[in-house]
Structure 1
Amino acid sequence: MSRKPVHLAVYDTLADWETGHATAWLARDGYEIRTVAADSTDLVTTIGGMRVKPDLTLAELRPEDSSLLILPGADLWDTGDDLAPFARTARAFLDAGVPVAAICGATAGLAREGLLDDRAHTSAVSFYLAATGYKGGERYVDADAVIDGGLITAGPTEPVAFAREILGLLGAFEGEKLDAWYRLFHDSDPAAFEVLNS
């Protein structure tokens, strides 16, 4: 069965550690990972200094051509409106019934876009999102990762929980295998390795 690619947003100051588990395991499961920049395919530099050559721009991205849009955190989410086009793209994806996953600062961008007003969600801490002036404070959940209405959210310290929700949503792992994957990478449970590889 042919699968649509997973699209990973890339921009300067992207937090390298937040999406690696998700993208690596999706790729191992047969998903093509394509990187998307705002308006140029010039190199972007992550917060860790890695240089990434984007595959396409937001203008070229269509929800119907994607399995998922992943929005990593980045310093730029909190220093201006440079990344607002990614939040608007997330709205288009959700409106089209295509899931979105946002972690760390990307959750604040989605809050500013109004996408967390009517969905259960999480982030670093509740007051971080409250500072955006959004109207969804009562829907905030103090959890590692939350999925609601096709939107996955997580805080910056939870890349493994974030990946678990993504892998489960896209069927890379299910049931006992998904639980084992999480126990192995989150809890360092050696017994989980045997279950995962059985």
Structure 2
Amino acid sequence: MFTIYVYVLDTLADWELGYVMAELNSGRFFKEGAPCVSLKTVGDSKKPIQTMGGLTIVPDCLIDDMVVRETSVLLLPGANTWNAPKHGAIIQKASEFLSLGATVCAICGATAALANIGLLDHRPHTSNGPGFLEMVSPGYQGQSFYIDEPSVADGNLITASSTGALLWAKQIIERLGVFGAETLEAWYAYFRTGEPKHFFALMQSLPSGNEN
């Protein structure tokens, strides 16, 4: 079973988590025999946070409650509040995740938080465009590993720009292996293009009895 920890903080960018959380939580397009997935929101305290879209989220657990194993996944969304010192604890936890073979998925401003402690200095990654990390993370030294794409997967590290949420979701789902290959490609093509042919391909790719 995969445990997906979603870090929540004030001004969280709602749209960046939309695709991946909806699919992992609902399991509506999972393949037969897919591993179970459990989603938990994590906070630096149990105090409710308010997203950029105005939603209120009460964290399910605290950083100290997280269990790190290879089947653990940490989702770090963008937000305008990553510079607050209290968020240093989750970034240290992200370092632990990476070193133990667990998966870390960071998008938008969360990539800057990883860059601040050197986690992007020696492996392929992306962010909000060339020059962004230099501007917001003075100690960043990973320029030679930067890839100017919406989302970049490098083993157990998946990073994305603020406009890369769909590809980021695809790469996370692929990493977990919970969709069949045809289902994943049709899902991505449909939401990327909106073309009906991909929707029908998506429906036809699903296991019998899982078409709704």
Whether TM exceeds 0.5 here: the answer is yes
Pick the aligned partner of 1:168 from 156, 168, 174.
174
Matched, 1:74 2:72: no
RMSD of aligned alpha carbons: 1.4
Matched, 1:50 2:55: yes
Structure 1 Cα separation of the partners of residues 3 and 187 of structure 2: 22
Q: Specify the code of the residue in structure 2 equivalent to 1:82.
A: K
Structure 1 Cα separation of the partners of residues 123 and 60 of structure 2: 31
Structure 1 Cα separation of the partners of residues 184 and 78 of structure 2: 24
Structure 2 Cα separation of the partners of residues 55 and 137 of structure 1: 36
CA drift of 1:187 comes to 1.5
Please say which structure displays the higher CA radius of gyration.
Answer: 2
Structure 1 Cα separation of the partners of residues 71 and 173 of structure 2: 15
Instruction: State the Cα deviation string for residues 120-169 of structure 1 (Å, max 9, x = none).
Output: 00111121111213110111001111011310000001111110111111
Q: Specify the code of the residue in structure 2 equivalent to 1:9.
A: Y
State how many pairs are aligned.
Answer: 194
Instruction: Find the residue that maps to 1:89 and give its secondary structure.
Output: helix
Q: Specify the code of the residue in structure 2 equivalent to 1:112.
A: N
Q: Specify the code of the residue in structure 1 equivalent to 2:188.
A: Y
Q: Specify the code of the residue in structure 1 equivalent to 2:155.
A: G
Q: Specify the code of the residue in structure 2 equivalent to 1:139.
A: F
Q: Specify the code of the residue in structure 1 equivalent to 2:4.
A: V
CA drift of 1:171 comes to 1.2
Matched, 1:8 2:14: no
Q: Specify the code of the residue in structure 2 equivalent to 1:149.
A: G
Structure 2 Cα separation of the partners of residues 149 and 169 of structure 1: 8
* Ranges in structure 2 where 5+ consecutive residues have no aligned partner: 28-35, 205-212
Structure 2 Cα separation of the partners of residues 166 and 28 of structure 1: 15
Structure 2 Cα separation of the partners of residues 58 and 153 of structure 1: 21
Instruction: Find the residue that maps to 2:40 and give its secondary structure.
Output: strand
Instruction: Find the residue that maps to 1:115 and give its secondary structure.
Output: coil
Q: Point out which structure has higher relative CO (alpha carbons under 8 A, 6+ apart).
A: 2
Matched, 1:97 2:101: yes
Q: Specify the code of the residue in structure 2 equivalent to 1:18.
A: E
Q: Determine if contact 2:79/2:109 at 8 Å carries over to the other structure.
A: yes
User: TM-score scaled to structure 2, two decimals?
Assistant: 0.87
Instruction: Find the residue that maps to 1:20 and give its secondary structure.
Output: helix
Q: Determine if contact 2:70/2:103 at 8 Å carries over to the other structure.
A: no
- Of 9-18 and 174-183, more deviation after overlay is shown by 174-183
Q: Determine if contact 2:70/2:100 at 8 Å carries over to the other structure.
A: no
User: TM-score scaled to structure 1, two decimals?
Assistant: 0.93
Q: How does 1:1-198 map to 2 (within 5 A)?
A: 3-29=1-27, 30-38=36-44, 40-64=45-69, 67-77=72-82, 79-131=83-135, 132-133=137-138, 134-198=140-204
Instruction: Find the residue that maps to 2:119 and give its secondary structure.
Output: coil
CA drift of 1:43 comes to 0.7
Q: Specify the code of the residue in structure 2 equivalent to 1:168.
A: E
Instruction: Find the residue that maps to 1:87 and give its secondary structure.
Output: helix
